[in-house]
Amino acid sequence: MRNGSSVPLRVRRLGLHTQKQAVAVMRTDCHVCRSEGLSARSQLVISTADRSIQAELLQVESALLAENQIGLSEAAWTLLGVGEGDEVRIGHAFPPSSLRHVRARLFGSRFSRADLDDIIRDVIAGRYTDVHLSSFLTATAAAPLDEQETISLTGAMMSAGDRLEWGEQVVVDKHCIGGLPGNRTTPIVVAIVAACGLMMPKTSSRAITSPAGTADTMETMTDVELDISRIRRVVEEEGGCIVWGGAVHLSPADDVFVRIERELDIDVEGQMIASVLSKKVAAGSSHVVIDIPVGPTAKIRDTRTADALAARMEAIGQHFGLFVSCIQTDGSQPVGRGIGPALEAYDVMAVLSNETDAPEDLRARAVRLAGLVLEMGGAAAKGVGPALALQTLRSGKAWEKFQRICEAQGGMRTPPRSRHQFVVEAAAGGVVSALDNRAIARVARLAGAPRSAAAGIRMLVRLDETVERGQPLLQIHAETAGELGYAHEFAERSAPLVRLK
Amino acid sequence: MRNGSSVPLRVRRLGLHTQKQAVAVMRTDCHVCRSEGLSARSQLVISTADRSIQAELLQVESALLAENQIGLSEAAWTLLGVGEGDEVRIGHAFPPSSLRHVRARLFGSRFSRADLDDIIRDVIAGRYTDVHLSSFLTATAAAPLDEQETISLTGAMMSAGDRLEWGEQVVVDKHCIGGLPGNRTTPIVVAIVAACGLMMPKTSSRAITSPAGTADTMETMTDVELDISRIRRVVEEEGGCIVWGGAVHLSPADDVFVRIERELDIDVEGQMIASVLSKKVAAGSSHVVIDIPVGPTAKIRDTRTADALAARMEAIGQHFGLFVSCIQTDGSQPVGRGIGPALEAYDVMAVLSNETDAPEDLRARAVRLAGLVLEMGGAAAKGVGPALALQTLRSGKAWEKFQRICEAQGGMRTPPRSRHQFVVEAAAGGVVSALDNRAIARVARLAGAPRSAAAGIRMLVRLDETVERGQPLLQIHAETAGELGYAHEFAERSAPLVRLK
């Protein structure tokens, strides 16, 4: 980047919200724009004495700005760290030079580690526009990253972020590759495993294409945006935590990719593996269990694909000294009843507190995963893990541990309840023959999840259940009438969420 | 799209320039946003009684807007066709349903004609964000469109636009696939061919990744943004025209793709073929000559690739009843002296007016192409075309025709001259062994071309010329000091534009 033009401008905070995209607004008749050859939607560099950021330029005709002013969006304001009226200089932004690696790969070459270091550096610096980011991710979806490239991307993403160390030989972790609505085992597994004495500092992500990520669900019960020193304190006290990974910058490029993948509604395998493993290694984990749900409408459709993914993840983990163990689970229908941050939180609490009507499938999955983590981490002999896990749950020790973790993270709170609901009823009697995970997740998202914490779906039937005409199949929850209508409209127009025969 | 929320808002024109992207600004505390679940960067639908557009939402905290107001960017204002204070309703935009075709293709399927009709319809309606557009184009770069898909895309792009008819059996055209700076033969070819009595209504594009398109160059000499009735009048009077194709909506998706391709700095073959041929067919052409420059730093690097491209274009042309004839030309160095809209215009006028120092290579290429067009269109016997073309040029008839065409298009004017220049000199003596088309084009663009019409490069040496130390190799032209410095800085940091040995 250049240091910018010779004529300084004074910044003005516009209170303009643009998510993470830095935006600058200048006057169309601004002489600095003219002399720099900048026009609307140009990328420009804005510099103070000690910081430079890249931003997208918008222009206004009106007298909103004085002659020598540049307006900044909230994201630009924060990144640049300025005060009202401070002087900045601007200049053209060089197109990111690492884009040539993306172009070369489109035409058949492979990424080297150095290429990916360049790309990740430019992405984190905000030099990739949405067009560039989408092209990078699409290129790696169209011609998947090979094993060496995935190792390189993992390394590049990891090196770009912070790295935690715990002073323990064994630090366990678990991860689910997603695609299965309501599969919220993590809070239960962490509570069981930490109650059994293993260290499990869990950093979770927010939803990518799903209605809720673990971080979204946990946030309805306690704070999840903790800095590193607070995470350390929680883990030292309780042996475990369940926090949002983005707040600790373990793999800062990941959030940028997530936003684009969400807009494209795709998950890119190589990027997904790199994203998961870079965060596990950076989080200081030594052993990780990975849950791969398999089913006709899950993210992974068949066992062969799941086997290949498992082999790839285990090999790449090994490269970074991380023991990875993958298990395939049933992905034919949503897990538990709730889908959406708060609705899933209620399921988690029901299982942990041994409520009589707690969803049995969620309990069974959590026990199976926790058992494997306990065995892998040396807290249970081979084959004995699940029994220990179940006992820890039944005894109330897991529930006690979970409440202590929430208290340590900032206090436990009650998840919100939605203001609007709509019940979808069976148009005819029959047996539930299929549940469409993708369509169910889509409707939950349209209802506002994960942005609206109380929004989502509550499933009222499961596979093979016999239902009568008019029987409620599911309930859509939303925080606003607009969103409820939108989700309901989509559900009516799409293929049936619940198929009867 | 939905018709929008039940509560109307009043529009306010913000004078906000965002290129073609429709942007709406609402208050962060707006109750309509809340009830619709909209947040910054959401896509929303804005509707009047008879029109709906999609726009990106930005939010402001400040008192810039009243409670019930929605601010509109210039693009949104124009598309919606509203007046100050008019009522609109807003709602969530459905994600474009045709995106599922893009996703499916990423994972191995092929586009059908119906898929591409869906995609082009959504693109033209503004339902594709930058992220979606970039993904579509990247997907077709990574796994190129096959012949059937290219036919489908050509048909879809053509059907989405206007279509011209001329009432003549033979309507000729020419096109250059680009990649060679300064290759501005079109104005000369049209002048020669029209002077020989064939009908040649030429619609040209603006630059994609080059420093100038024919439309950019012509615009320095006359008007190019003519509507269909004015184009008809020019062609009826003079037998030819040289206008910007975008102004007549022959293939409206093309401009949208061009903007994204420019940001990615790639040309996608299938999209390029569809873009060219859809416009030729829609423009009512019956015969078209296509110039394919081949050289180590041209867009096409070797004759095999050029042969394959020629075969593909001829086959697809045939499918639409268009006779396509491709010729390969020398693409080893820039053509003429000027690179950039106005600098190329001066070369064109020098050739047409038979100036003694007119660039000989530009003249020779134009004569060869015009000769082939004359033969193809039946105005010259096989083998006699180039002689007729040269004679028409030498006699002054082509120059006279060119001036008449410019007058008919709105009056002939003198291209601008740049305000700032910088001369790059030979660091040592030697023989010019290579010229880097891509790097030369890049520097010309950084100097401001094509946006700044007078900006670009004037080449002062050609291949195999012997130069002395300190001899000027090329001159960078810019309209602003900032751009000159930027281009010069890049030229110094990049590989040498002119290689000596």
Percentage of the residues of chain A whose pLDDT score is greater than 70: 97
Q: Which of B115, B117, B267, B347 is catalytic?
A: B267
Q: What are the residues whose beta carbons fall under 8 Å from the beta carbon of A23, sequence distance 6 or more?
A: A16, A55, A56, A57, A58, A72, A73, A75, A76, B58
Are B308 and B395 contained in the same domain? yes
A132: chain B residues, CB-CB within 8 Å: 134, 263-264
Per the listing, tokens 């299965």 go with A180
More confident residue, A368 or A485: A368
Cβ atoms A372, A380 nearer than 8 A: no
Supply the Cα-derived Rg of chain B in whole angstroms: 24
Residue B414 in any domain: the answer is no
A18: chain B residues, CB-CB within 8 Å: 40-41, 58
Residue A415 in any domain: the answer is no
User: How many residues can be counted in chain A?
Assistant: 501
Distance CA B291, CA B298 (A): 12
- Please, which contacts does A115-122 make with residues 24 or more away whose CB atoms are closer than 8 Å? A115/A152, A116/A149, A116/A152, A116/A153, A116/A155, A116/A156, A117/A156, A117/A159, A119/A156, A120/A153, A120/A156, A120/A157, A120/A159, A120/A160, A120/A253, A121/A160, A122/A96, A122/A97, A122/A98
Q: What is the ipTM of this complex?
A: 0.81
Per-residue model confidence as pLDDT tens digits over B244-279: 987 778 888 988 898 888 888 888 889 999 999 999
Are B347 and B485 contained in the same domain? no
Per-residue model confidence as pLDDT tens digits over B401-418: 999 999 999 999 999 999
Chain-chain contact of B37 with A486 (C-beta, under 8 angstroms): yes
Q: Are strands B240-244 and B200-204 parallel, antiparallel or unpaired?
A: parallel
Report the candidate in A248, A326, A324, A241 with the shortest Cα–Cα distance to residue A286.
Answer: A324
Per-residue model confidence as pLDDT tens digits over B351-383: 999 999 999 999 999 999 999 999 999 999 999
Report the candidate in B205, B241, B208, B207 with the shortest Cα–Cα distance to residue B226.
Answer: B241
Residue B4 has pLDDT above 70, yes or no: no
What is the mean predicted confidence (pLDDT) over B46-67?
89
- Hey, how many other C-beta atoms are within 10 angstroms of the C-beta on A304? 10
pLDDT for the residue numbered B248: 79
What is the mean predicted confidence (pLDDT) over A209-218?
91
Chain-chain contact of A17 with B61 (C-beta, under 8 angstroms): yes
Report the candidate in A123, A102, A121, A120 with the shortest Cα–Cα distance to residue A111.
Answer: A102
Are A106 and A135 contained in the same domain? yes
Chain-chain contact of A91 with B486 (C-beta, under 8 angstroms): yes
Per-residue model confidence as pLDDT tens digits over B191-208: 999 999 999 999 988 886
Domain boundary (A47, A64, A92) is at A92
Which CATH number do you get for residue A273?
3.40.1030.10
Distance CA A364, CA A375 (A): 17
Domain boundary (A159, A182, A208) is at A159
Strand, helix or coil for residue A109: coil
Distance of CA B486 to the CA centre of its chain: 24
Report the candidate in B217, B274, B268, B270 with the shortest Cα–Cα distance to residue B244.
Answer: B217
pLDDT for the residue numbered A1: 38
Are B135 and B226 contained in the same domain? no
DSSP string, B251-284: STHHHHHHHHHHHHT---HHHHHHHHHHHHHHTT
Distance CA B117, CA B95 (A): 17
pLDDT for the residue numbered A379: 96
Query: Which residue in A30, A31, A110, A263 has the most chain B C-beta atoms within 10 A of its own C-beta, making it the best mutation to test that interface?
Result: A263
Which CATH number do you get for residue B493?
3.90.1170.30
Single-letter amino acid, residue B473: L
Residue B416: asked if its preceding bond is cis (omega within 30°), the reply is: no
Distance of CA A373 to the CA centre of its chain: 22
Residue B257 in any domain: the answer is no
Which among B60, B106, B479 is the nearest to A138, CB-wise? B106
Residue B117 in any domain: the answer is yes
Assigned token pair, B248: 């007549």
Residue B63 has pLDDT above 80, yes or no: no
B135: chain A residues, CB-CB within 8 Å: 134-135, 137-138, 264
Single-letter amino acid, residue B18: T
A2: chain B residues, CB-CB within 8 Å: 486, 489
Query: Which residue in B3, B106, B134 has the most chain A C-beta atoms within 10 A of its own C-beta, making it the best mutation to test that interface?
Result: B134
Residue B449 has pLDDT above 80, yes or no: yes
Are A245 and A216 contained in the same domain? yes
What is the mean predicted confidence (pLDDT) over A464-480?
95
What are the start-end ranges of the H helices in A160-302? Answer: 186-195, 214-218, 228-238, 253-264, 269-282
Residue A133 has pLDDT above 90, yes or no: yes
Tell me the helices (H) and strands (E) count for chain A, helix number first: 18, 18
Chain-chain contact of A28 with B36 (C-beta, under 8 angstroms): no
What is the mean predicted confidence (pLDDT) over B27-52?
83
pLDDT for the residue numbered A5: 53
The H-or-E segment that residue A204 falls in is strand A200-204
Which among B14, B35, B452 is the nearest to A481, CB-wise? B35
Residue A499 has pLDDT above 80, yes or no: yes
The H-or-E segment that residue A291 falls in is strand A287-294
Residue A371 in any domain: the answer is yes
Assigned token pair, B84: 């100050």
Are A333 and A389 contained in the same domain? yes
Q: Exposed, middle or buried by CB within 10 Å (0-12, 13-18, 19+), for A86?
A: middle
A267 is catalytic: yes
Domain boundary (B409, B442, B458) is at B409
- Hey, how many other C-beta atoms are within 10 angstroms of the C-beta on A104? 13
CA angle A336, A342, A344 (to 5 degrees): 15
The whole-chain average pLDDT of chain B stands at: 92
Are B151 and B219 contained in the same domain? no
Q: Which of A117, A122, A254, A267 is catalytic?
A: A267
What is the mean predicted confidence (pLDDT) over A71-92?
92
Single-letter amino acid, residue A440: I
Which CATH number do you get for residue B118?
1.20.970.10
How far apart, in Å, are the Cα atoms of B141 and each of A321, B100, B148, B210?
37, 18, 16, 19
Single-letter amino acid, residue A81: G
Per-residue model confidence as pLDDT tens digits over A172-200: 999 998 778 999 999 999 999 999 999 99
Q: Are strands A472-478 and A420-425 parallel, antiparallel or unpaired?
A: antiparallel
What is the mean predicted confidence (pLDDT) over B292-318?
93
Residue of chain B with shortest Cα separation from A105: B142
Residue A29 in any domain: the answer is yes
Residue B380 in any domain: the answer is yes
Per the listing, tokens 């009106």 go with A62
pLDDT for the residue numbered A2: 44
pLDDT for the residue numbered A32: 77
pLDDT for the residue numbered A6: 58
Q: Which residues are A324's β-sheet partners?
A: A288
Are A238 and A372 contained in the same domain? yes
Confidence of residue A7 (pLDDT cuts 50, 70, 90): confident
Buried/exposed B76-92: b ≥16 CB within 10 Å, e otherwise: bbebbebeeeeebbbbb
Are A321 and A392 contained in the same domain? yes
Supply the Cα-derived Rg of chain A in whole angstroms: 24
Calculate how close chain A gets to B99, using CA atoms only, in Å. Answer: 8
Single-letter amino acid, residue B278: S
Per-residue model confidence as pLDDT tens digits over B101-158: 999 999 899 999 999 999 999 999 889 999 999 999 999 999 999 999 999 999 999 9
Are A178 and A154 contained in the same domain? no
Name the domain count of chain B: 4
Chain-chain contact of A16 with B60 (C-beta, under 8 angstroms): yes
Residue B107 in any domain: the answer is yes
In which domain, by residue range, is A13 found?
9-92
Are A113 and A63 contained in the same domain? no
Region at B22 (left for phi over 0; alpha for psi -120 to 50; beta for the rest): beta
Are A54 and A178 contained in the same domain? no
Per the listing, tokens 């990111």 go with A96
